[in-house]
Structure 1
């Protein structure tokens, strides 16, 4: 006797409905590992510096090379792998990511650690965009928003929980143990992906030339440049936050872990709350508030000698930094509605390139200025981002028509 599944109002079976939740959850575990890996090194830079016998300004470049690799290679990897099956491709990306983190943990020199971080960046650049696209496909139109939010949620939870946990492991055991923790999470995601993810259809291919054609429009360039400057300002200080807080409130260990947790919780509020604010206020007003708050909190880090104030600043700074991406994506897709995936990928590249510039420049500046003065430098870059934002707002432009030359 044959068995039929009860169809849901959307036309999908109830078993299929529960299946996409499991499948997207596994993909979100992978994005959790990526989110943790992106930020956890900032909390253990002093340990890495001491372990490798290198100045903290030099070890900070481990964050630079990860972000630079992601930002530069993501568009090229998307185009080069557009005809490859999605499930094996994501499995390969996770395997590279796991191996790179294990290699990072056993790297005996800074040079080898930097090479391993490049490999980790390649794995992340290959996995994250494909995980978002796969989640949307698996969930179908009726649940696409929830699925995409789950992937972003994995990145956010990686910051909220993964970074403090990884930092605590690094403070309690060793910095190598933090990277092994990240590798273990990635391995869980890999095993789950192989076990539960079905074969996926290939997404429509967008040639590399078409991906970069939108950059011929100055408004798109300005919006992406704003994202780059904002990310550079935020990560310049966050990369060396353990050093900054060590100078201002003399904290490390458990207290530093709690401060990073406050930053992550603030970031979660900013990431999810910015969507509602964008719907209510519009993207431009939301971005004005976020970039203003970012500049103020970055400058305030330099003069904060009170631990309660440091907790408040960390939460507000995290909220401001994470509140920018969603409204910036909103105005990009509003301007180029016929190529949403392309402009969103450019925004992501702007984020990671900004992080690479911020971490790299911060390391250079730390050779000549103090950690607290670095906060003023970050605030200055945030002010530049704010000025560019005001220019974008005051000079509206007509969106290009689909198929029209840029």
Structure 2
């Protein structure tokens, strides 16, 4: 039986995780100055969190399979909040990197379990909407959490205030998970089995689409302050307002994409979202020079970028429905792998071309992602033909 209130609770937990994922980009220059490293090097703070999540997601899912779901959520949030508290209090870059990795470990425990729970409780005809609702917790973090964190840093003049804010969100989310009803414990699945779907060409190409697309999308976001400095004039409050617009569009895109995927199928929504995002990014060196066009670019970026998550997850589950819990974990890990690679691509782009040209670099990754998406569609169609 579908339980909307449970889905909303899981979305709330994802809001805390999402805020931590996205808020660092808005305060990156201040963090770099405080930790006495270049802004490009400070981008590793994003990589430390995302890469830890990506690598340890399947591992933690295996190790915690028999844990009661409530215990799993509470333990994950304890680790998550500890990592953020250390980041907020220890003024050493190496320690901050380790603390970001610790917070990523907490996220690795929470996110796959939340998405899998929502998927399992939804009937097939509502699966796209259930996935989208939980994902909305992440996109709502871009609409509210990330801008609030950026504004806090600007108003207080201290980026560590933002990390304390994220720590508080983690504590509140942990309290919310105590209200969850007893959830069924999934069967024990070895790590090798969890990774087996990667050998399926349909799954591998779909995940490659996600990897390329989110590397491109986050190449710009990782250094969003320097990328948009002509429009914001380095004003933190203006940047926070722009992130708010981006986040609202992301929330709308996530919610709408679930319904559209159920109605039109994943291929049309995936290809449309990637194409719009690629064109938008290719134009970013010019549109980001002025505030009005930057607002429009961020609205398009938020809606198209976040509109990709639900149909991609839906494509995976439809291709191999018997492995749905495994696929949701792999999907989340792939997103965060892309997010972890993006600061490295952005660092290279800033060094060679400058921050204002990160958009076309991101567009190149998106175009490659579109090719992978069509290859995935071909593989899925071929498999369907063989089984008929």
TM over 0.5, yes or no? Answer: yes
5 Å-filtered alignment, 1:18-57, equals: 21=5, 25-57=8-40
Alignment of 1:164-175 (within 5 A): 164-173=147-156, 174-175=158-159
Residue in 2 that maps onto 1:398: 383
Tell me how far apart the structure 2 counterparts of residues 276 and 248 of structure 1 sit (CA, whole Å). 34
RMSD: 2.5
Cα displacement (A) at 1:381: 1.1
Residue 258 of structure 1, CA deviation: 1.0
Q: 1-side partners of 2:122 and 2:255: how far apart?
A: 22
Other-structure match for 1:388: 372
- Which of 218, 241, 244 aligns to 1:258? It is 241
Aligned counterparts of 2:304 and 2:134: Cα–Cα separation in 1? 20
Shift in Å, 1:164: 0.8
C-alpha change, 1:143 and 1:95, in structure 2 (3 Å) is: farther
How many angstroms does 1:141 deviate by? 6.1
Tell me the equivalent position of 2:309. 325
With 173-182 and 152-161 compared, the bigger mean Cα shift is at: 152-161
What secondary structure does 2:352 align onto? Answer: coil
User: For residues 69 and 54 of structure 1, do their structure 2 counterparts lie closer, same or farther at Cα, with a shift above 3 Å needed?
Assistant: same
Greater helix content: 2
The answer (yes or no) to whether the contact 1:68–1:353 under 8 Å persists in 2 is yes
How much has 1:105 moved relative to structure 2? 0.6
Change (3 A) 1:401 1:341: farther
Greater mean alpha carbon deviation, residues 101-110 or residues 360-369: 360-369
**1:231 paired residue among 210, 214, 232:** 214
Aligned match of 1:4: none
Alignment of structure 1 residues 163-242 onto 2, 5 Å = 163-173=146-156, 174-194=158-178, 196-242=179-225
**Residues 283, 144 of structure 1: CA spacing in aligned structure 2 closer, same or farther, 3 A cutoff?**
closer
Uncovered stretches (5+) of structure 2, i.e. residues with no partner: none
Correspondence for 2:113: 130
Q: 1:221 to 1:140 in 2, by over 3 A?
A: closer
- Alpha-carbon deviation of 1:133? 4.1
- Taking a change above 3 Å as real, the CA distance of residues 399 and 125 of structure 1, as seen in their structure-2 partners, is farther
SS in 2 for 1:398: helix
Instruction: Give the deviation of 1:50 after TM superposition.
Output: 1.4
- Distance (whole Å) between structure 1 residues aligned to residue 292 and residue 122 of structure 2: 45
- 1:63 aligned to which of 37, 46, 54: 46
Q: Does the alignment pair 1:285 with 2:268?
A: yes
Structure 1 gap ranges (5+):
1-9
Cα-to-partner distance string for 1:336-363 (whole Å, 9 max, x where unaligned): 1211121222121111101111122212
> d(CA) in 1 for partners of 2:242 and 2:336?
23
Equivalence for 1:7: none
TM-score (ref. length: structure 2): 0.91
Equivalent-residue separation in structure 2 for 1:352 and 1:309 (angstroms): 29
